[in-house]
Amino acid sequence: MSAPQNPAPLKQQADDDNEIHDVATFRDAGRNSVTPVAQFPEPVALAVVNAFADIVTRAKASTAATTPDSDGIVRSQTFEEGDVYMIEKPFDGFFADRYIMDFYDVAERDICSRMHLHTGLRFVRMMTGPDTRIRVGSLSPFDITDVPGVTPFRPATFEDDLPETPAGVHRTRYNLIVPPCSFVDMQIPRGVSHQFNAIGPHAVIDSVHPEESIEVFREQMSGYKMMAQTVFLADELPAAATCIDTVTIDH
């Protein structure tokens, strides 16, 4: 395995909350790696998901979490897929942090999140409760862990056309479904496209950003902010119809 390099910045404008890159010319720097972890009875899954979601909800109502702290960090933030809370922040000698995200329900909002990439690598644990699925998309196929006798299930996958691309541009979208009452991990390399959309009310992510301080410095950003550490591959949020379908592969 080759040693990590010191890559060039990804952002054109470091603090832009809505920077758009050309989806026609974009190519992923690698692939997302997906690892199914566990499945639970409905009451167990619901209790876990609700416990994480409640943390995010309390943060939204907290003055301390919604205003800059002594390091200038605002812990409660908003992203396209849902509300987020930085439960653990970086500090000198430890450049990672951890976010919890409480997903919006695509059916309730009637819009999907956009395909995007991040300025640093991510590790996410997706967790679903009853009657809820997460549809994950990428412009590259997923590498799925399957260790015989250990991996509990294999998520369903399928392909479709990336919606709402510019005229004359066609990109294949690779999709993976996190089923109800399941934990699924995903390792997201820097510069690799992905999108998450929850279909149902009970979905959260526990997300570790192992190089948060490094990417802020590398991109010359003025602070820690989910939106600024993101590059989008579409101008507008697409309609719910473009991401809500899981019926065709649920059999």
CATH-assigned architecture of domain 33-241: Sandwich (2.60)
Q: Which pLDDT value is given to residue 214? A: 94
Query: In angstroms, rounded to a whole number, what is the distance separating the alpha carbons of residues 159 and 173?
Result: 6
Q: Which pLDDT value is given to residue 5? A: 65
Q: Which residues pair with 204 in a beta bridge?
A: 102, 127
Q: Residue with structure tokens 């430890």? A: 94
Those residues whose C-beta lies under 8 Å from the C-beta of residue 26, and which sit 6 or more positions away, are: 139, 193, 233
Q: What is the helix (H) or strand (E) element at residue 178, kind and residue range? A: strand 172-178
Q: Which pLDDT value is given to residue 1? A: 58
Q: What is the pLDDT along the chain (251 residues), one digit of tens a residue?
A: 555 567 889 999 999 999 999 999 999 999 999 999 999 999 999 999 999 999 999 999 999 999 999 999 999 999 999 999 999 999 999 999 999 999 999 999 999 999 999 999 999 999 999 999 999 999 999 999 999 999 999 999 999 999 999 999 999 999 999 999 999 999 999 999 999 999 999 999 999 999 999 999 999 999 999 999 999 999 999 999 999 987 654 43
Can you give the residue ranges of every domain in the chain?
A: 33-241
Query: In angstroms, rounded to a whole number, what is the distance separating the alpha carbons of residues 75 and 64?
Result: 8
**In whole angstroms, what separates CA 1 from the centre of its chain?**
26
Average pLDDT, the chain: 94
Query: In angstroms, rounded to a whole number, what is the distance separating the alpha carbons of residues 136 and 169?
Result: 21
DSSP state of 235: S
Q: Which pLDDT value is given to residue 247? A: 60
